[in-house]
Structure 1
Amino acid sequence: MTPFPADGYDLFSPEFSKDPHRTYEAVRASACPVAHSDRLGGSWMPVRFDDIRSVARNPEDYSSRTSEITGPTVAEPGGGLLIPPITSDPPEHKAHRDLLMPWFTPKAVAARGPFVRAKAESLAAALAERGEGDLVADFAQNLTVATLARILGVPIDLQPTFIDWTVRMFRLGPLDTDLRARTVHEILGFFDGLLAERARDPRDDLLSHIATAEGDHLTHKHRLGSAFVILLAGADTTWSAIGAGLWHLGHHPADRDALAADRSLMDTAVEEILRYYAPVTVTRTATRDLTLCGRGVRAGDRVIAPFAAANRDPGVFEDADTLRLGRRRNRHLAFGTGAHRCIGSSLARLELKTALGAWLDAMPRFEVPDPGSVRWTSGAVRGPEAVAFVSG
């Protein structure tokens, strides 16, 4: 066996998309649990919980200035797509995060509960009456994007456009930089017009808050990036978690029946689904030459941190490769860690919990007839692309 058997990994290969954990396990078992690949611009990939946590929490050594998981080069400081606070480092990061935080506090999120519940129940009831469909396109995407549209204050009929933009950015863009650039241009142009409109005529929505907030650090580019990040960071991530959770329940009838019968399991079940199917991989850029678990990383190198790998570390989680709905000790990293911990975590939890509950109320015996045929997305966000179901 070579010292580094998982070197040369391909984040977008069919094999990796279907089951990245085989690669993560191979890296864990190697002489040094960090893999390297020259593909798609090159990257380093740690897989242990402690190493991923360290990379995510150490801005002095690992900058957040670029979010791209692939690409021919890593952006220089001040370059690349600005989407604060995701691409922000200290000391600016706190101010960038504080701009958005009032809309994602537990109290603010709780106020969204009735809308999310009504939307989830309406979608699930219609699908139960139909008896079959695609639980991603017909339910998870619709619920997630409708919620974001409500928060941003944009028309619900833009939902198909938002989904198309998200797919082009996360599914196609990493392998087609021209398409990604055109998509970024479209999104920024859309928000540019809306922010100008809200500056003239503010409403009770997040875009108005971004457009009218005061502060010397709030350049026009910053305001655009802040609007951009809410749409992109809050869409695919959440619908992927909902889709993965329903995919699991749809072909694990014991888990489905247990959760349908005992809703006191919901809180731990949601946390366990997030641990087991953590959708997000983040990107950092080495700020200097350094050593990561014995391997030499050069300044400017891309380091990717797959939270799903951390969440299956057997040194941290007992029986890590088994999903246990009632798991109590569960300090997973699905939402990241440290200063960059996901600002929308409370909203994502609300949507996932509400989605599962509404779905099981409407279709407690639903099934996913062919779970093995499901294709999974790759890159910064992993989730099922489409999942056919029958109501049972």
Structure 2
Amino acid sequence: MAADDRFNKDFRDPNRDQYHSVRSETISGPVTDWATDFSHLDPRWTADPFPIMDDLRQRCPIAHTERFGGAWVPTRYEDIAAVAYDTENFSSRSVNVGNFRPPRDLAPIGEAPPITSDPPFHHGARKLLLPAFTKTAVARLEPTTRAYCHSLIDGFEGRDVVDAAEAYAQKVPEQVIGDLLGIPQGDRKLFRDLIANINREDALDSRDEHVEQLSKMFVFLLAEIKEHVRNPREDLISYLLEVELRGRKLDPNHIISMMLLLFAAGIGTTTKAIGSSLWHLAGNPRDRERLVAEPELLPTALEEFLRAFTPVTMARLVKDDMHWRGVDMKADDWILLSFPAANRDPAQFERADEVVIDREANRHAAFGLGIHRCLGSHLARMELRVALEVWLERIPEFDLQDPSTVVWGGRLARGPVCLPLSVGRRTPLTPDGPR
């Protein structure tokens, strides 16, 4: 391949300039009233949000807070869906509620296209990525994903207690996304360290820290892209270097933004989904034993895990002052879209607060709603299914070492960040599979 002129000059990381405060107001401390002083940063929300959601749904279905410069929190499925589908009144230019907002002129592209893009730019930007996430494309990643899961469990040899969050759930999506992008094995440790830094909860609270971590990742990704220019290969980076949007190849910032999206939407979320599923099975032996005995039930069960323990919470920004469903919203107010709340709404799901692993009617919103429904849903389902299949094959007996030691985290993707499991007998792997 001839040298690509897009990469023959030095690029200054745009992340250093694009963030600024807009109507921001830092209000710290514990929540006094969830209906009028909501904060998804309160540890009680992360530890167990479902009683809070139920209370709000009954007495104040659209909660409000002055924190973060003003934010609204709908808790009913119908309200959350209405916002998700309404691109006329709500912008996606940032999907993380925080103390700073990107400027309005960043629309319609947003921080990390296509998830932060508004129409009309969104359609073309999303369409570019679709070929990489079809069922056929994802199927090609399954054998290496399965082999990697087995290698992780092989590494548990001699251990009676395993932190399944750190040693298993977190590692699987990192490996898969690294394979998808074609990150060389020699760069994987740095890759994992950088991902850990940009996904740190405390980094999101500081503008300078947030920008610094994004800038480090920008430098790493730009180097990977330049290497792909010199040595093309069969992976997503090389694919993005060749595709065109509106008759032009993508510029480096657009490619890197798409890659950052994969890290945010494709690693943290799937990590938490795997961890939450293992947490439930460790604490509910009847469900665990049934899935071990009936592995064909797993595809149905994982949909229920996705519904009951939906990790993802996204956001929108109000475009203009308006009266909406009984409340007065101001331009640039945040709307926190809690898909976990939508999936626990009893008006939408029977026995909404129960985990029913053979639930048949299950049109959940775990992958979002509207134009931004997760384009990587096939990939996420494959990772979750394979991770659980391999674990249940190899470690059919496990339980929580001590429920009090489980730590939940994640304001944007909630799930266990510390999950010590006592592991019983392990099935050895033979050339013919587990036995």
TM value normalised by structure 1: 0.94
Amino acid at match of 1:53: A
**Contact 2:93–2:102 at 8 Å: present in 1 too?**
no
The superposition leaves residues 94-118 of structure 1 with CA deviations (integer Å, 9 ceiling, x where unpaired) of 1111221111001100111111111
Judge which range, 142-151 or 115-124, deviates more: 115-124
Judged with a 3 Å threshold, the aligned counterparts in structure 2 of structure 1 residues 41 and 187 are, in CA distance, closer, same or farther, namely farther
Look up the match of 1:34: 62
Look up the match of 2:269: 237
Look up the match of 1:366: 398
The superposition leaves residues 114-141 of structure 1 with CA deviations (integer Å, 9 ceiling, x where unpaired) of 1111111221233255332110111111
- For residues 194-209 of structure 1, the aligned pairs below 5 Å read 194-209=224-239
Amino acid at match of 2:52: T
Look up the match of 1:46: 74
2:377 and 2:281 mapped to 1: Cα distance? 22
2:183 and 2:369 mapped to 1: Cα distance? 30
SS of 2:407's equivalent in the other structure is coil
Judge which range, 37-46 or 73-82, deviates more: 73-82
Amino acid at match of 1:187: M
1:205 and 1:109 mapped to 2: Cα distance? 12
Deviation at 1:230, TM superposition (A): 1.5
**Contact 1:74–1:300 at 8 Å: present in 2 too?**
no
- For residues 338-353 of structure 1, the aligned pairs below 5 Å read 338-353=370-385
Amino acid at match of 2:390: A
**Contact 1:196–1:211 at 8 Å: present in 2 too?**
no
Deviation at 1:292, TM superposition (A): 3.2
Amino acid at match of 1:382: R
SS of 1:36's equivalent in the other structure is strand
1:315 and 1:202 mapped to 2: Cα distance? 51
Deviation at 1:142, TM superposition (A): 1.3
- Mapped pair 1:84 → 2:113: yes
- Mapped pair 1:17 → 2:46: yes
TM value normalised by structure 2: 0.85
2:155 and 2:284 mapped to 1: Cα distance? 23
Look up the match of 1:148: 177
**Contact 1:41–1:73 at 8 Å: present in 2 too?**
no
The superposition leaves residues 296-316 of structure 1 with CA deviations (integer Å, 9 ceiling, x where unpaired) of 111111111010000000001
1:238 and 1:8 mapped to 2: Cα distance? 30
Deviation at 1:74, TM superposition (A): 5.0
Look up the match of 2:148: 119
Judge which range, 115-124 or 370-379, deviates more: 370-379
1:377 and 1:242 mapped to 2: Cα distance? 14
Look up the match of 1:210: 240
SS of 1:274's equivalent in the other structure is helix
Which of the two has greater helix per residue? 1
1:24 and 1:161 mapped to 2: Cα distance? 38
**Contact 2:110–2:117 at 8 Å: present in 1 too?**
no
- Mapped pair 1:327 → 2:332: no
- Mapped pair 1:105 → 2:137: no
Look up the match of 1:182: 212
2:39 and 2:220 mapped to 1: Cα distance? 34
What residue ranges of structure 2 are gaps of 5+ in the alignment?
1-32, 425-435
The superposition leaves residues 29-67 of structure 1 with CA deviations (integer Å, 9 ceiling, x where unpaired) of 11x410111223431111111111111111111111112
Deviation at 1:150, TM superposition (A): 0.5
2:66 and 2:417 mapped to 1: Cα distance? 27
2:189 and 2:74 mapped to 1: Cα distance? 36
Look up the match of 1:191: 221
**Contact 1:376–1:384 at 8 Å: present in 2 too?**
yes
Deviation at 1:75, TM superposition (A): 3.2
1:81 and 1:376 mapped to 2: Cα distance? 29
**Contact 1:24–1:309 at 8 Å: present in 2 too?**
yes
Deviation at 1:254, TM superposition (A): 0.9
Judged with a 3 Å threshold, the aligned counterparts in structure 2 of structure 1 residues 202 and 87 are, in CA distance, closer, same or farther, namely same
Look up the match of 1:134: 163
Give % identity. 36
Deviation at 1:160, TM superposition (A): 4.3
1:308 and 1:132 mapped to 2: Cα distance? 30
1:160 and 1:18 mapped to 2: Cα distance? 30
2:84 aligned to 19, 34, 56, which one?
Answer: 56
2:188 and 2:70 mapped to 1: Cα distance? 34
Structure with more relative contact order (C-alpha pairs < 8 Å, separation 6 or more): 1
Judge which range, 150-159 or 12-21, deviates more: 150-159
**Contact 1:374–1:387 at 8 Å: present in 2 too?**
yes
- For residues 245-256 of structure 1, the aligned pairs below 5 Å read 245-256=277-288
Deviation at 1:190, TM superposition (A): 1.2
1:90 and 1:136 mapped to 2: Cα distance? 37
Judge which range, 94-103 or 169-178, deviates more: 169-178
**Contact 2:94–2:101 at 8 Å: present in 1 too?**
no
Judge which range, 176-185 or 319-328, deviates more: 176-185
**Contact 2:272–2:416 at 8 Å: present in 1 too?**
yes
Deviation at 1:6, TM superposition (A): 2.1
Judged with a 3 Å threshold, the aligned counterparts in structure 2 of structure 1 residues 168 and 290 are, in CA distance, closer, same or farther, namely farther
SS of 1:228's equivalent in the other structure is helix
Judged with a 3 Å threshold, the aligned counterparts in structure 2 of structure 1 residues 128 and 316 are, in CA distance, closer, same or farther, namely farther
Of the two, which has the highest radius of gyration? 2
2:302 aligned to 270, 278, 283, which one?
Answer: 270
Amino acid at match of 1:360: L
- Mapped pair 1:68 → 2:96: yes
1:23 and 1:58 mapped to 2: Cα distance? 26
**Contact 2:164–2:421 at 8 Å: present in 1 too?**
yes
Judge which range, 185-194 or 209-218, deviates more: 209-218
Deviation at 1:279, TM superposition (A): 0.5
Judged with a 3 Å threshold, the aligned counterparts in structure 2 of structure 1 residues 128 and 363 are, in CA distance, closer, same or farther, namely farther
Deviation at 1:281, TM superposition (A): 0.5
